[in-house]
Homo-oligomer: A and B are copies of this chain.
Amino acid sequence: MEITRRNFKESLGAVYGAVEEADFLAIDGEFSGISDGPSVSALTNGMDTPEERYAKLRKHSMDFLLFQFGLCTFRYDQAQSKYLTKSFNFYIFPKPFSRTSPDIKFICQSSSIDFLASQGFDFNKVFRSGIPYLNQDEEAQLREQYEERRNQMNGSGTPSYISPLSGKGPVNVPDEHKDFINRVVEKVEALLNNSEKTVDLEPCSGFQRKLIFQTLNWKYPKGLHVETVETEKKERFIQVSKVDEEERRRIEQQKQEREQEELNDAVGFSRVIHAISKSGKLVVGHNMLLDVMHTIHQFYCPLPEVTMSCIDCGVRLLDTKLMASTQPFKDLITNTSLAELEKQLKEKPFKAPKVGCSEGFQCYDTAAEQLHEAGYDAYITGLCFVSMANYLGSFLTPPRAHISARSKLIEPFYNKLFLMRVVDIPYLNISGPDLQPKRDHVLYVTFPKEWKTSDLYQLFSAFGNIQVSWIDDTSAFVSLSQLEQVQIAMNTSQYAESYRIQTYADYMQSKQKSTSKNRKWAEDGWANTTCSHMHNRSLTGKRSISPTQEDQTSDFGVADSNWSHYTKKIKTDGEVEFVVFCSFCLCSNIAFISREAAVSTSPAQGEAGSEEADAWPELPANQNQGKKS
């Protein structure tokens, strides 16, 4: 279902209903760009820590507009043994709703716009009919404005500012307006003494209207209703009506309802996000870090300074790209891009999920491939999740064809968002400490800006294979294949004039020093961006509880393990799946633990916390194709 501001209000009930009844939700966003600073390859450096990546995306990606939001709800129908879906494709645009509303500016990146244009994206629909939205602060401000205006009308509120020359008691009317105000009072006196119900005053300036409101409120605290009315020509005048107390209250009530509706209209699309958030349903996305950040930033509040944490907000997120990059899928799936993943998950050993679309909803045809329409991308993201979840069921005894979205089997994937192109950290963890890999074989190299990747290959050609991760024009991380080479490289570099080498540890230490120097400012900034859903986690606190990885032996710090080594099948007990994978992918913190084991603290579960070899997701082949390759 396509939703613009033309049909938003009438469709909202259907959206709420679909979210309410769903077993899980799939989402996708389309943005007006990715990076307003460094090139995308520099933005996604292979040696970023989750913290650094978050900070970079926060700094360089949030001024773009999320202008299409796809939501696909999946409800499992037991009778038909299939999922019924409802797809919504929302067009989003911050249309200013009044003369005083925020006039949002957003950046467009021509490569992103050009890409969407080539996919047939309808920009006219966004800009002509996009649904407006407000974040929490803006909503609160608007609500306050309405209240303040109401109080001013009633004459009951104290204005939020203090006029320099205005006292209490009678209104201080400037000389040049005294005649005007006196004429108004005469008209109102006449109204009170005749049989008319209302009198329309002549159009006047905003300042004069304010004087009228103040004067009439002071002179006639009861029995009058005073209201600004706009003519068709946008001229504003004041209408004064005689009312008894009951009538006054009724008018007041009506007005309040009208204002509430205006407020709801202005909050607009954010109401959908609030509903998703409140539902507590599992939210599935593909490579969803940017989608999540944009959603929070645009519809909730500015993103916190350090990383975000959803521990208390009750949302459970699942990233299908991370899932597909993790065992047992990692070895079976060669390409985790959404379109390819969807195709592979229809083939053995996977099964295309059984889905149908709910009555009154358009069905997407995956053969038609409407990729990069957010509603379609959300739909096939959901399909991918179902395929993979069901595949996990094949490990049970007896195997199960359908695994529910509430199954313990998928809990290990919760709240871990895929990190694009990071060599040795697969995800950003939003409900626990992030991983901290060893990077003893990594060097930080600075050099003249004319250097290209080939110059680095030549520089280190004696050391065999290396990996280069560009930081900017004049620096890069270089990963050596053997730890012993680090000292040799450091020694050699002493005599070099054109380049400089530091160990990763030294580099990070000097970087943290300079960061903590700037910290005061960062914390000041953060005070303004507090949001009830966000938790600021300190850099040090976070690091100290990270698991260590002593046992890394392979090249590039990527130890390989095999899913099958660590799985033990156990019986299913009634409706609930019980599985123990003694230690699955430990250092990525994904451990499959049975509910039983969790309760009984079995030895198997105890081991899951200890140090063992990890199972890094396979990284895309082109991960280190920096801008200069």
Residues on A lying within 8 angstroms of B by beta carbon are 32-33, 36, 39, 65, 93-96, 103-111, 113-114, 116-118, 122-124, 126-128, 160-166, 172, 174-176, 205-207, 210, 447-448, 450-455, 457-459, 461, 464-465, 496, 498-499, 629
Q: Indicate whether A161 sits within 8 Å of B107 (C-beta atoms), given known contacts A124-B123, A174-B461.
A: no
* CB <8 Å contact, B93 and A451: no
Q: Indicate whether A174 sits within 8 Å of B457 (C-beta atoms), given known contacts A128-B117, A161-B452.
A: yes
A-B pairs with beta carbons under 8 Å apart, 23 shown: A39-B103, A93-B114, A95-B110, A96-B111, A105-B107, A106-B107, A106-B110, A107-B107, A117-B127, A117-B128, A123-B123, A123-B124, A161-B450, A162-B450, A162-B498, A163-B451, A163-B455, A164-B451, A164-B498, A165-B461, A172-B458, A207-B453, A207-B457
Distance of A199 from chain B, by nearest CB (Å)? 24
CA–CA, A127 and B107, complex, Å: 14
Distance of A397 from chain B, by nearest CB (Å)? 45
Q: Indicate whether A451 sits within 8 Å of B161 (C-beta atoms), given known contacts A94-B110, A110-B94, A174-B461.
A: yes
CA–CA, A104 and B35, complex, Å: 11
CA–CA, A499 and B453, complex, Å: 60
Distance of A92 from chain B, by nearest CB (Å)? 11
* CB <8 Å contact, B110 and A161: no
* CB <8 Å contact, A163 and B111: no
CA–CA, A161 and B455, complex, Å: 10
Distance of A91 from chain B, by nearest CB (Å)? 12
Distance of A372 from chain B, by nearest CB (Å)? 14
* CB <8 Å contact, A458 and B165: yes
Q: Name 15 extra pairs, CB < 8 A, besides A113-B127, A161-B448, A163-B454.
A: A33-B105, A96-B114, A103-B110, A104-B109, A105-B110, A106-B108, A107-B108, A114-B127, A116-B127, A123-B123, A123-B124, A162-B450, A163-B451, A163-B455, A165-B458
With a CB–CB cut-off of 8 A, which chain B residues contact A117? Answer: 124, 127-128
* CB <8 Å contact, A454 and B207: yes
Distance of A47 from chain B, by nearest CB (Å)? 21
* CB <8 Å contact, B629 and A206: yes
Which of A39, A108, A110, A124 has the most chain B CB within a 10 Å cutoff?
A110
The residue in chain B whose Cβ has the minimal distance to the Cβ of A464 is B176
With a CB–CB cut-off of 8 A, which chain B residues contact A451? Answer: 161, 163-164
Distance of A239 from chain B, by nearest CB (Å)? 22
Distance of A307 from chain B, by nearest CB (Å)? 25
Cβ-neighbour of A114 out of B95, B452, B496 (below 8 A): B95
CA–CA, A12 and B172, complex, Å: 67
CA–CA, A447 and B62, complex, Å: 34
* CB <8 Å contact, A108 and B108: yes
Cβ-neighbour of A110 out of B104, B124, B452, B499 (below 8 A): B104
With a CB–CB cut-off of 8 A, which chain B residues contact A103? Answer: 39, 109-111
* CB <8 Å contact, A174 and B458: yes
Distance of A35 from chain B, by nearest CB (Å)? 9
With a CB–CB cut-off of 8 A, which chain B residues contact A165? Answer: 458-459, 461
CA–CA, A3 and B127, complex, Å: 22
With a CB–CB cut-off of 8 A, which chain B residues contact A166? Answer: 458
With a CB–CB cut-off of 8 A, which chain B residues contact A164? Answer: 447, 451, 455, 458-459, 496, 498-499
The residue in chain B whose Cβ has the minimal distance to the Cβ of A451 is B161
With a CB–CB cut-off of 8 A, which chain B residues contact A453? Answer: 207
With a CB–CB cut-off of 8 A, which chain B residues contact A110? Answer: 93-96, 103-106
Cβ-neighbour of A105 out of B109, B162, B207, B629 (below 8 A): B109
The residue in chain B whose Cβ has the minimal distance to the Cβ of A459 is B164
Distance of A445 from chain B, by nearest CB (Å)? 11
CA–CA, A457 and B211, complex, Å: 13
Which of A94, A161, A447 has the most chain B CB within a 10 Å cutoff?
A161
With a CB–CB cut-off of 8 A, which chain B residues contact A459? Answer: 164-165
CA–CA, A494 and B93, complex, Å: 49
With a CB–CB cut-off of 8 A, which chain B residues contact A461? Answer: 165, 174-175
The residue in chain B whose Cβ has the minimal distance to the Cβ of A457 is B174
With a CB–CB cut-off of 8 A, which chain B residues contact A118? Answer: 128
With a CB–CB cut-off of 8 A, which chain B residues contact A127? Answer: 113-114, 116-117, 123
With a CB–CB cut-off of 8 A, which chain B residues contact A65? Answer: 108
With a CB–CB cut-off of 8 A, which chain B residues contact A113? Answer: 93, 127
* CB <8 Å contact, A105 and B36: yes
Cβ-neighbour of A629 out of B108, B122, B207 (below 8 A): B207
